[in-house]
Amino acid sequence: MKVFDCPVIGPRPISEFDYIGEVRRPPMDADEPTWAAYVFNRQGAPGLLREWWYHRPTGRWYVMERDTLKDEVVRFIDLEEVRYDIPA
Amino acid sequence: MIALQVNETERASYLLTGPESSEALASAGLPVPEQVLSAEERSGALVARTGRDEYMAMLKAGVTAPQSEWCFRRYDSVFELKGEGWVEMMAHLCQYDFRQLKPGDWLMTSVAGVNCWLYHEIESGSLLIGADPGYRHYLNETFSAVLGDLSATRNPTGGAS
């Protein structure tokens, strides 16, 4: 059993979580090539990555900073840090 | 020592959401837990805080239900595990280490693959397990099967002595 060490609710089986992917900010006013890069490309290099995780039993979303090389959660990110406004 | 038992128990469940939810609970005389993912029980009422403005209330018959525009009835199936050895039984059903669950603790985790809420009752020491009613039959069958296996292990019959 693989355990996901969540800084908020403690160590839980990773089967209780859904991995949603990297936290990203859309390039709102960018040109088409930038948008295409945003849509189709991802950072694959190992290192610190901010990721969305969804814990199904509680129905709660978390943003974690994880070292993808060591597979260790470094810290919990407050959602205020990653929120952005969508242009009207 | 009470033998381990699993029973379904009747609780009227409600989900309250929105900024007025804590007032609705308070005006119905129900407890209002302060911490997110914690619960409080008081004379037949169990209330858990599941979010900043979200609560779940599980009420026994006769307890006043909260009234609010954003108070929704739930129909959770609630099981009660009581007696010695429920920690051992849960070890067969869930990956969480229940030795660390203290009386009064609220937990939301996966039990036999089903998303459930759990509460360790303070007075009775029982474990309450609530889940979507669609899983009622499956959980009933699974609990009975595990209970049967544990009983068979404890009371072996026949064989060489």
């889940």: which residue's tokens? B131
pLDDT score of A66 more than 70? yes
pLDDT score of B157 more than 70? no
CA distances from A32 to A24, A26, A36, A60, B153 (A): 17, 12, 6, 34, 67
Assign a CATH topology to domain A1-24+46-88. Answer: Folate-binding fold (3.30.2270)
What confidence category does residue B43 fall into, taking pLDDT thresholds of 50, 70 and 90?
confident
Q: Answer whether CATH 3.40.50.620 is correct for domain B5-154.
A: no
Q: What is the pLDDT of residues B105-142, one digit of tens each?
A: 999 999 999 999 999 999 889 999 999 999 999 999 99
pLDDT score of B1 more than 60? no
Assess contact for B46 and B63: CB atoms under 8 A.
no
User: Hey, where are the domains in chain A?
Assistant: 1-24+46-88
Find, in chain A, the residue whose alpha carbon is nearest to that of B49: A58
User: Hey, where are the domains in chain B?
Assistant: 5-154
Which residues of B fall within a CB distance of 8 Å from A9?
Answer: 37
Find, in chain A, the residue whose alpha carbon is nearest to that of B51: A60
Q: What is the pLDDT of residues B49-68, one digit of tens each?
A: 999 999 999 999 999 999 99
Which residues of A fall within a CB distance of 8 Å from B117?
Answer: 57
For chain B, where are the alpha helices, taking DSSP H only?
A: 21-27, 86-91, 136-154
Which residues of A fall within a CB distance of 8 Å from B110?
Answer: 13, 15-16, 56-57
Q: Classify the complex by whether its ipTM is higher than 0.90, answering yes or no.
A: no
A15 touches B: beta carbon within 8 Å? yes
Q: What is the pLDDT of residues B82-107, one digit of tens each?
A: 988 889 999 999 988 899 999 999 99
More confident residue, B157 or A79: A79
* Predicted pLDDT at B51: 93
